Structure 1
């Protein structure tokens, strides 16, 4: 029958798209882990809310991973309940992603101020809190930056203003006196806020491309799942 053949096609399309979702889930997990590792020290000196961003991507990837597996089983077994549940969950995830994208755009300036405040707070704790001190040093070495906005920020910290110095991690070279009476020739001139923002803007295109790809396949998955639900409910054999 033509309908039977058409429903067979829909069934396998749902199965194929769920496999694609599975791959997308793995991709999101990888991106979340990469972002967490790359920004680990920057997030350590920022707020808890900022630190949750890579974790949110990681959790979303895991959720999509399991939902896609659930959808594959539903399509393969032709279970109306499982396919319906899959379509509903996928629709919810799609709406959450849209809401997250809108919130990210609206609060992008807030994220910048949170990061800047975290950097300043870490600078004030430098030398007194060992984990924070190590985090700041690693940020400055990895991003080749010094201070929040520039190297002169350290002069507002009492212990560094008194000796006209900056942390050794600001040094451009291994010279012994590079952090004493700092100048743009001896220490990194640009601040860490600018460097971290530049890194994030460079890599956000990758995240945006993956997100758009996932959203496209989610919409198709929802449509095909609804078609399969209709076919199963109508009592057609789609084996």
Structure 2
């Protein structure tokens, strides 16, 4: 009667513990991206909306399920339970497909998202120079963003603010080295406009989703291989 390879058995256990930690990492990263206000308030304020959380929501589900699968894999390996190992294999295979689909979806929509972001912010930039109540929340958020990121205006610097510039001057005020400042209406303001910074925040979010989706896929393939080898060995006992 064949015996289960001890090395494979405990390698499977160690792998699943690491896999469980990967699930926790995916869940933490996805939740952080989901709740982060770094770019969401800017791009989703005003007249139009650009961000989609579909890929992030998929990752949250993937992370939670991976943690459950990691437990099943650990238990199945130690107890040599074929039912648990088969459940682990099927669940992991489905999760792998879902995860790769999420990464592909995010990668394929990357250029479209950047174009939509550009259009949205050009539209919302008109709100900066308005004096009506329309877009008041957007102007407030933009002023806060300028203070935190040391930039001024979206595309054309202080000109974007029009007659509202005096009200938000403090958020544009520049006291850094001269090469990062420029003069506007006799006042020193940040030379850097905010659009490139917002774009980078959005693109970094997309890169994190793609990297997380494909980065863990290699580990998951190893899990499929280990679980099937162990499953077959237990069947020969």
Quick check: TM above 0.5? yes
Post-superposition Cα deviations, 1:165-198, rounded to whole Å, max 9, x if no partner, equal 573433335xxxxxxx837973333333311333
Let me know the Cα RMSD of the aligned residues. 3.5
Q: Which residue in the other structure is 1:176 paired with?
A: none
Report the CA distance between 1:66 and its aligned residue.
Answer: 2.0
Q: Please give the alpha-carbon distance, in whole angstroms, between the structure 2 residues aligned to 1:23 and 1:191.
A: 40
The 1:110/1:204 distance shift into structure 2, 3 A limit, reads closer
Post-superposition Cα deviations, 1:130-169, rounded to whole Å, max 9, x if no partner, equal 6544433333333333333342562xxxxx4346657343
Q: Which residue in the other structure is 2:150 paired with?
A: 144
1:232 aligns with 2:234: yes
Report the CA distance between 1:31 and its aligned residue.
Answer: 2.1
Report the CA distance between 1:100 and its aligned residue.
Answer: 2.4
Q: Please give the alpha-carbon distance, in whole angstroms, between the structure 2 residues aligned to 1:88 and 1:184.
A: 67
Q: Please give the alpha-carbon distance, in whole angstroms, between the structure 2 residues aligned to 1:199 and 1:48.
A: 13
- Please tell me whether the aligned partners of residues 25 and 61 of structure 1 are also in contact (alpha carbons under 8 angstroms): yes
Selected match of 1:135 from 132, 141, 153: 141
| Structure 2: gaps of 5 or more residues | 176-182
Matches within 5 A, 1:196-207: 196-199=198-201
Q: Which residue in the other structure is 2:81 paired with?
A: 79
- Please tell me whether the aligned partners of residues 43 and 50 of structure 1 are also in contact (alpha carbons under 8 angstroms): no
Q: Which residue in the other structure is 1:25 paired with?
A: 23
The 1:78/1:125 distance shift into structure 2, 3 A limit, reads farther
Q: Which residue in the other structure is 2:225 paired with?
A: 223
Task: Report the TM-score when normalising by structure 1.
Answer: 0.72
Q: Please give the alpha-carbon distance, in whole angstroms, between the structure 1 residues aligned to 2:198 and 2:229.
A: 46
Selected match of 1:65 from 64, 67, 72: 67
Q: Please give the alpha-carbon distance, in whole angstroms, between the structure 1 residues aligned to 2:215 and 2:24.
A: 13
Post-superposition Cα deviations, 1:20-56, rounded to whole Å, max 9, x if no partner, equal 111111222232244345x414113334743455444
Report the CA distance between 1:115 and its aligned residue.
Answer: 2.7
The 1:189/1:205 distance shift into structure 2, 3 A limit, reads same
Matches within 5 A, 1:86-97: 86-97=88-99
The 1:225/1:23 distance shift into structure 2, 3 A limit, reads same
- Please tell me whether the aligned partners of residues 104 and 210 of structure 2 are also in contact (alpha carbons under 8 angstroms): no
Q: Please give the alpha-carbon distance, in whole angstroms, between the structure 1 residues aligned to 2:71 and 2:140.
A: 41
Q: Please give the alpha-carbon distance, in whole angstroms, between the structure 2 residues aligned to 1:200 and 1:185.
A: 31
The 1:23/1:54 distance shift into structure 2, 3 A limit, reads same
What secondary structure is seen at the aligned counterpart in 1 of 2:233? Answer: helix
Q: Please give the alpha-carbon distance, in whole angstroms, between the structure 2 residues aligned to 1:131 and 1:69.
A: 46
Q: Please give the alpha-carbon distance, in whole angstroms, between the structure 2 residues aligned to 1:206 and 1:83.
A: 31
Q: Which residue in the other structure is 2:172 paired with?
A: 170
The 1:52/1:103 distance shift into structure 2, 3 A limit, reads closer
Q: Which residue in the other structure is 1:4 paired with?
A: 3
Task: Report the TM-score when normalising by structure 2.
Answer: 0.73
Give the length in aligned residue pairs: 221
| Structure 1: gaps of 5 or more residues | 155-159, 174-180
